[in-house]
Chains A and B, each alone.
Chain A
Amino acid sequence: MSLLSIKDLSISFDTPRGMLEAVRHADLEVPAGTSVGIVGESGSGKTVMSRAAMGLLQGSNVHRSGTVVFDGHDLTAMTRVGVREYFGTGMAMIFQDPMTALNPVRRIGSQISEGLRVRLGMDKRKAMARSEELLTLVHIPDPGTTLHKFPYQLSGGMRQRVMIAIAIACEPKLLFADEPTTALDVTVQAQILQLLGDLRRDLGMSMVLVTHDLGVVAGNTDIVAVMYAGEIVEQAPTKSLFANMRMPYTEALLKSIPKMDMPSGKRLQVIEGRLPDPTDRPVGCGFAARCMYVQPKCHAEHPPLIHDGDGHLYRCWFPLGKK
């Protein structure tokens, strides 16, 4: 059974320009112990989907349909307070920007121990001792001193390690990592990805890794879902996705990554144009206007999600590698 099961999830927001459909009819399963990557450009709905899965999107302007079942409990049927029961011990999130996600006026130790005291009922002394252990676990040098520091005294990579320590403090079953390395240097990115992989194995966590970089999901996930214009357009086990791409969008995304083995001075492949307006989605395939292989049918009819056997799903009338 899946640890997290998202079924037919749609999220829209009321905006002055009309109804903004951020996520449309998304299905996603996160089996226990696996790492699932969600990939897409800015505005593809990947962050909204992961926040909705955690029950973080609530308010009068949010319209939601579909279900999110975590560990056998339907989160969509719960109140805000009810969902909170699962934060920390059930699921936790690492946010994109380590500069702004930490509270600037509280010391690191108090921010890490908050969850331990509230969720696990530890007393202050015990929680601080555990916080120090957690800092060691995320490889922060001199954890005893770091406990008493403020976020501004740490570098971006160190703050992201603190964020990770906070997220894993209550040993959640599922960790959402929303672009955990986008704000960081490549060297620090490699360190953080390695750390997340090690922690996941050691603590037996599942992970949802949200990113715009196919290079990041390649070595760090078991399953990848590619999102475009609010929909999951391709989903497959990671190796099979890279070996047999079906969606022209996934291929275009991969080709636009600068690679070190290409000849210098060569032009990069680009995806021309932009995402369609989320308040006014096209009738046909959302990617049709930017697709190299577009046919008249693509503009006229919306492609359904096609199952290819062995877990490969795609949403294209004329998939790559097929007649």
Chain B
Amino acid sequence: MAGSGTAHMRSGEDVILAVNDIVVEFKVGGGQIVKAVSKISFDVCRGETLAIVGESGCGKTTLGKAVLQLPPPNSGEVIFEGVDLTKLSKEKLRSARTSMQMVFQDPISSLDPRMTVRQLIEEPLWIWDRGTNEERTTTINKLLNDVGLDPELVLDRRAYEFSGGQCQRISIARSLALEPHMLICDEPVSALDVSIQAQILNLLQDMKDRYGLTMIFISHNLAVVKAVSDRIMVMYLGKICEVGTPDVIYSKPAHHYTAALIDSVPIPDPTREVSRAILQGEPPSPVDPPSGCRFRTRCPAATDICASDEPQLREVTPGQFVACHHPRS
């Protein structure tokens, strides 16, 4: 439901990233405005993995990119390691970005097809003039070993010679080259087979431990994020529905949308009764979102108040925040 509010925000020194009331809108033809992200606030603590979950078009990728100022949000603050990125000059922003990196959804098209693996991974080091030639070679070899590729075999090959899973490993190595503090992974496994998907998810966990990373993990599949996340934020049409730890979210989803997402995941067990409450229809257009709670048009529990008042995030159980007038109990 898309609600606003800041009840779920934490304070303390551990907060590495705090996003306050961020708004991202795009102008499209005919004077219309796509309201991709509408006044969202969230924070991430050092060493934590925050998962952002929602359907296509809910604004989760836009939100992830807005954190990196790609493009900068229309309003709101993005405070990363104590600095508000939205107020930095171009040059300062460029150097601030080295400590946050992104892993993209499509592993093959996000790598330059004309560059060798050595060039791909060396590029960030070269741009920032890190180390001598020998030091760079050592770094590249170490990164490749860390992501499970043999430097001898891959260094002089190009992206098209690799499978999707291997390309995603190269992307991860490249994103780690500058030793970032935070990694934003945008659907890093959606394009991969289940067997490869598990390999990449485990690899991301390993890298997080080894490099002491903080991670934002964007996905549409709640089953995938369960394995990797410490905190989950469910989004719908540019607003937050629910925030909480995975254990609470999966066992007792308070938001009707979260419950529908959980029910949609196919269960590999034929004896289980096929579900359940499948969410019908598609999200409304973000050009003209519904009044009040944005989920009300598809919500089984919607009443009049949902159309008139926008729900605010509030704590229903310790550590679980929901923006809904009629939360599930």
Contact = CB atoms under 8 A, between A and B. Distances in A.
A64 B223 CA distance: 40
Contacts of A271: 195, 198-199
A185 interface: yes
A189 B266 contact: yes
A256 B268 contact: no
Contacts of A242: 268-271
A170 B224 CA distance: 39
Given A186-B261, A190-B279, A258-B201, A213 B266 contact: yes
Given A41-B195, A187-B55, A190-B279, A264 B268 contact: no
Given A218-B268, A257-B223, A274-B163, 7 more contacts: A141-B281, A190-B266, A194-B278, A258-B227, A265-B228, A270-B195, A270-B199
Contact-residue bracket for chain A = 35 or more
Contacts of B227: 258, 262, 264-268
B134 interface: no
Count chain A CB atoms within 10 A of each CB in B195, B262, B268, B269 and give the residue with the most: B195
Closest 6 CB pairs of A and B: A215-B266, A268-B198, A190-B264, A256-B198, A215-B268, A186-B264
Given A157-B282, A186-B261, A187-B261, A219 B197 contact: no
A260 interface: yes
A316 B296 CA distance: 53
Interface in B237-282: 245-247, 250, 260-272, 274-275, 278-282
A194 B57 CA distance: 22
Interface in A220-271: 220, 238-239, 242-243, 252-254, 256-262, 264-271
A219 B226 contact: no
Contacts of A239: 270-271
Nearest to A243: B271
Contacts of A156: 56
Given A242-B270, A264-B227, A215 B278 contact: no
Nearest to B262: A260
B202 interface: yes
B221 interface: yes
Interface residues of B, number: 49
B163 A186 contact: no
B205 interface: yes
B222 interface: yes
A183 to B, nearest CB: 9
Given A190-B279, A193-B266, A258-B198, A267 B205 contact: yes
A42 interface: yes
A257 B201 CA distance: 11
Interface of A: 41-42, 141, 155-158, 185-191, 193-194, 197, 212-216, 218-220, 238-239, 242-243, 252-254, 256-262, 264-272, 274
A213 B198 CA distance: 13
A215 B265 contact: yes
Interface of B: 55-57, 163-164, 193-199, 201-202, 205, 220-224, 226-230, 245-247, 250, 260-272, 274-275, 278-282
Contacts of A262: 226-227
Contacts of B230: 264-265
Nearest to A195: B278
B170 to A, nearest CB: 15
A220 B272 CA distance: 11
Contacts of A185: 55-56, 220
Contact of A155 (B201, B265, B282): B282
B34 to A, nearest CB: 14
Contacts of B280: 191
Contacts of B199: 270-272
Contacts of B223: 257-260
Given A189-B266, A260-B250, A213 B194 contact: yes
B279 to A, nearest CB: 5
Contacts of A216: 266
A218 B263 contact: no
B299 to A, nearest CB: 13
Contacts of B228: 264-265
Contact of A268 (B201, B245, B268): B201
B270 A257 contact: no
A186 B275 CA distance: 13
B233 to A, nearest CB: 15
B193 A42 contact: yes
A232 to B, nearest CB: 18
A162 to B, nearest CB: 14
Contacts of B270: 218-219, 238-239, 242
A264 B229 contact: yes
Contacts of A42: 163-164, 193
B265 A264 contact: no
B194 A253 contact: yes
Nearest to A194: B278
22 contacts: A155-B282, A157-B282, A186-B221, A186-B265, A190-B279, A193-B266, A215-B267, A218-B272, A219-B274, A256-B195, A257-B198, A258-B223, A258-B224, A260-B222, A260-B250, A260-B262, A268-B198, A268-B227, A269-B198, A271-B195, A271-B198, A272-B199
Nearest to A181: B266
A216 B57 CA distance: 23
Contacts of A191: 278-280
